[in-house]
Amino acid sequence: MTGILGMKRRKQPRYRQAVLWLVLTAAVLVGISMFSTGETKRLQPASIYVVDGDTIDVAGKRFRLVDFDTPETYEPQCDNELALGNAATKRLRDLVESGQPLDLVILPGLDDYDRNLARFYVGGKNLADILTAEGLARAYQGGRRQSWC
């Protein structure tokens, strides 16, 4: 067998090919597991307390819902932020009470305020997509947030 620059290449033994294949497969599986979504729980509306548009309590645990940011209701910077924050909170409460299936996908780790991290799905749709499409949230992946004022 001839390789680059006309040099003869030795054929690798089959076991080396198998080991290489197994190592590559393991690396791919580890990579996939690092980005897995985590534990999914089907929730009942009565078990959910809506704190604000992007934070809920379930069974005594607080969850920061990821991939989006809603306006603050606790210490808003202006009246517009408070009004939008209240609207996002109300919309989330309405979605929780809508009768659609509610799924919480618990992610590894905590945020800067020691809240658990999760994605929240209503009727199979990510809450981040719902509130963002309705203008009540912005996509958010961490870092500095934009002002709502």
130 closest CA partner among 107, 106, 98: 98
pLDDT score at 17 = 65
Going by C-beta distance under 8 Å and a sequence separation of 6 or more, which residues neighbour residue 60?
none
End-to-end CA distance of the chain: 69
pLDDT of 143 strictly over 60: yes
Give the containing element (helix H, strand E) for 54.
Answer: none
Residues 6+ apart with CB under 8 A from 99: none
pLDDT band at 72 (very low <50, low <70, confident <90, very high): very high
- The pLDDT of residue 98 is 96
What tokens appear for 92 in the block? 């989330």
Average pLDDT over residues 100-120: 94
Reported as a single tens digit per residue, the pLDDT across 123-140 is 999 999 999 999 999 998
